[in-house]
Structure 1
Amino acid sequence: MNNVDYDLLIVGGGMVGASLACALDGQDLRIGLIEAAPLSVSAHPGYDDRTLALAQGTRRIFQTLNLWETLAATATPIRQIHISERGSPGFAHLDCRDEDMEALGYVAEARLIGAALLAKLPTLRNVELLCPARLETVRIEPDAACIDVRFADERTVELRTRLLVAADGARSPVREQLGIAALRWEYGQQAVIANVTPTLPHRHVAYERFTSDGPVALLPMSDNRCAVVCTVSDAEASAVLDLDDAGFIALLQQRFGDRLGPFLRIGRRQAYPLFLLKAREHARQRVAIIGNAAHTLHPIAGQGFNLGIRDVAALAEVVADACRRDEDIGDLRVLNRYADWRRWDQRRTIAFTDALNRLFANPLPPVRAARNLGLLAFDLLPPVKHWFARQTMGLDGRVPKLARGLALTASPSGATTQ
């Protein structure tokens, strides 16, 4: 097909879109990456002060893409996960030694992940960076997706591509312009994030603590810091953000308890509204949808970014396989392989995080008692813990080549659970 400007256009240069460009490096494809913001860590809204829990599968994908060596120096391993509910004796824990792993996951700062990706993008031989540039319109023709792009100098250019990939976030202009419906559910909550220094060493333990006010997560970081994700209601968010350091430490101590001793220092706080979003379609003729454009999750259990990176690995593998077979990468029959592959993982992860948030938000005494018994039972059932650990590590079900350490050019050897 010669009447196109690109074989593949990625709309969105955040961590998911940039990762897809890196994943397709070396394929015989002309790729364009469109991003509205300048591609610099200081300017891009996706590369902020948040910390991300990277699943073991995500670490393997980054390692296969030669990105992990840069991140490893600052990423902190999660060797245990401790799950509890305030006011209840029940708890559960996961340990990497039970899974024969060096870590269950890793904690990394979003801006450092962004810096590693942005350093790699200019080295990709088959990727053209089109930024800052803003998508204006999209239309789909039988043999191409046609988009109008406005550059910073106000030039508007029409581009044609065999495959358009929407990696443009929860408010995806691509998804909205194409009329692809998305279910959106507002949780009425906000996540207040910060870094905190406790008195006691965190010992590489991640904590998920459920309270009647919302869940609180503490993730281990360097220098004995912890990344905090404290869920508050929309109604109290402003008041919580207005607290001084001592006031916020007191609130955090009251919700989390004293398992790490008194908190000594707290960093700058930011808040993000929490909602669930699910696109009704993840593939159309000439279009694939990945990352937050396809699904946005509650941060409980830290699964959102990892789900998006698994989208990247699966789509890259489908595209690479189609290229080897000399198939049209934008044909719906090809893209349905991606959608079918990802459907179960996406549905299961979305259902799990949503149900967990709703279950622990229920204040009824019978439900609270059942939760407490459930945590105790979970901790006493190794097969269930093993399944749960494999799922949260991104190593359950059909695992993409990149998550198994295999290059996309490697000969197929089955994509099953390791």
Structure 2
Amino acid sequence: MKTDFDLIIIGGGMVGASLARALSGCGLEVAVVEAWSLDSQEQPSYDDRAIALAYGTRQILQGIGVWDALRPDAEPIRHIHVSDRGHFGFTRLDHKDYGLEALGYVATGHALGSVLLKGLSELPSVHLFCPAQLSAFEVEEDNVSVKLSMDGEAHQLTARLLVAADGTRSMVRETLGIEVREWGYGQTALISNLTPGIEPSGVAYERFTDAGPMAMLPLTEGRYGMVWTLADEDVDRVMALSDEEFLSQVQQGFGSRLGIFQKAGRRSCYPLKLLQAKEHVRPRVALIGNAAHAVHPITGQGFNLGIRDVAVLADLLVDAAKEGADIGSMQVLETYADWRRRDQQAVALMTDGLVRMFTNPLLPVRVARNLGMLALDLAPSVKQMVTRQFMGLNGNLPRLSRGLPLE
């Protein structure tokens, strides 16, 4: 068993697996440590919830070699309709205004996980340790020593760089004592896949209702993926409803733009919070994805933000390796942190601001937000800037985000 690597990725979820694929064949030996077995139905990253994929994410997935396999299971978003249920404000986005075939796509976590994990351990220079648990690690001057538990046995690996892709409760981050800014919204996302009464036509909806924001994302097989943000105190009641009662509640909140909903899939819940690590790098350690940040799903930015971490870090690591530099040096890692800071802060501020604005019941706030949506709809230059941010196409883009290979 090989024990010495260039980098070790803790976490084989969507972000960790994407980084391993991005670096495969680029001259770096990569170890991926994943706690769940690949055939487990419990892996939280790979369940059946709808995952919004920004257009920039499509570029990155193309660059790491999985887009063609995912495309049959990725439904395009050609139009977006944002509105305040029962009020006058709305904003519309159309893919034709940006000269693109789609503003983004929607796939289930299961479909995305299938293409990311398929053949992962067979890729050049990628070594998968799964299922395996991180027991401890120690950062030394020239490397990182990692202790694992796998098949009831202890193993020790070393690398020049440790990448934490182990989620919001990151053991790596917590072991290092990296502080986080964190607060809960008092809200929970209720997830379900629904069959609408009319044929989907590539329109994604964000409806702000009295019960909470409700997103409807077009999926394959004529379905819509629903993300309904509820106050924590309402969740148990809604989860306990029969399918018929649940569909009636959804219909009442969303309206009839998709006809009469016919069927609801399994329901699941996820508490919502904003999390930002105060440091994204330490000597020989980098945080990516939810280990570094978690945002409200109001605009579907979670995975998109994480895979943009991947694109930047992979870009820098490949260049450093080509130049014979130390990929775990603070010079490389601080460049990564600086490059990602603006995008991460912009998305956190926008999503948090939208949540606070659209959950405020005061009449002046409601009037202001409806006027704001109308103003945005009538201001093409501002709308384009905001849209490109959420599409992952603003700022200094790494090669993968521009559709260019790393080599």
Aligned to 1:413: none
Residues of 1 paired with 2:42 and 2:189: CA distance? 22
Aligned to 2:133: 134
Q: Which of these residues, 346, 349, 355, is aligned with residue 347 of structure 2?
A: 349
CA contact (8 A) 1:190 1:273 kept: yes
Aligned to 2:144: 145
Residues of 2 paired with 1:57 and 1:41: CA distance? 29
Aligned to 2:213: 215
Aligned to 1:44: 43
Aligned to 1:391: 389
Aligned to 2:88: 89
Cα distance, 1:324 vs structure 2: 1.4
Letter in 2 for 1:194: S
Residues of 1 paired with 2:118 and 2:35: CA distance? 18
SS of corresponding position for 2:236 = helix
SS of corresponding position for 1:353 = helix
Aligned to 1:325: 323
CA contact (8 A) 2:50 2:219 kept: no
Residues of 2 paired with 1:408 and 1:216: CA distance? 38
Number of aligned residue pairs: 405
User: Structure 1: which 4+ aligned runs deviate by more than 4 Å?
Assistant: none
Residues of 2 paired with 1:226 and 1:45: CA distance? 20
Deviation per residue, 1:383-411 (Å, 9 max, x gap): 011111211111111111011111111xx
Aligned to 1:187: 185
Residues of 2 paired with 1:303 and 1:382: CA distance? 22
Aligned to 1:279: 277
Cα distance, 1:41 vs structure 2: 5.5
SS of corresponding position for 2:145 = strand
Letter in 2 for 1:190: T
Residues of 1 paired with 2:107 and 2:66: CA distance? 13
Q: Which of these residues, 262, 265, 272, is aligned with residue 264 of structure 1?
A: 262
Residues of 2 paired with 1:161 and 1:299: CA distance? 34
SS of corresponding position for 2:303 = helix
Q: Which of these residues, 155, 158, 161, is aligned with residue 156 of structure 2?
A: 158
Greater displacement, 355-364 / 118-127: 118-127
Residues of 2 paired with 1:331 and 1:127: CA distance? 22
Cα distance, 1:120 vs structure 2: 3.3
Q: How does 1:345-384 map to 2 (within 5 A)?
A: 345-384=343-382
CA contact (8 A) 2:34 2:133 kept: yes
Q: Does 1:239 align with 2:225?
A: no
Deviation per residue, 1:362-400 (Å, 9 max, x gap): 111111111111011110001011111211111111111
SS of corresponding position for 2:336 = helix
Q: What percentage of residue pairs aligned between the two structures are identical? A: 52
Unaligned runs of 5+ in 2: none
Aligned to 1:5: 4
CA contact (8 A) 2:49 2:193 kept: no
Aligned to 1:33: 32
Cα distance, 1:45 vs structure 2: 2.7
CA contact (8 A) 1:41 1:114 kept: no
Deviation per residue, 1:330-385 (Å, 9 max, x gap): 01111111000000000000111111011101111111111111011110001011
Aligned to 2:119: 120
SS of corresponding position for 1:46 = helix
Letter in 1 for 2:4: D
CA contact (8 A) 1:275 1:297 kept: yes
Residues of 1 paired with 2:24 and 2:136: CA distance? 27
Deviation per residue, 1:39-77 (Å, 9 max, x gap): 236352321111101000111111111201111111100
Residues of 1 paired with 2:248 and 2:225: CA distance? 16
TM-score (ref. length: structure 1)? 0.95
Cα distance, 1:183 vs structure 2: 1.4
CA contact (8 A) 1:133 1:150 kept: yes
TM-score (ref. length: structure 2)? 0.97
Letter in 1 for 2:90: F
SS of corresponding position for 1:239 = helix
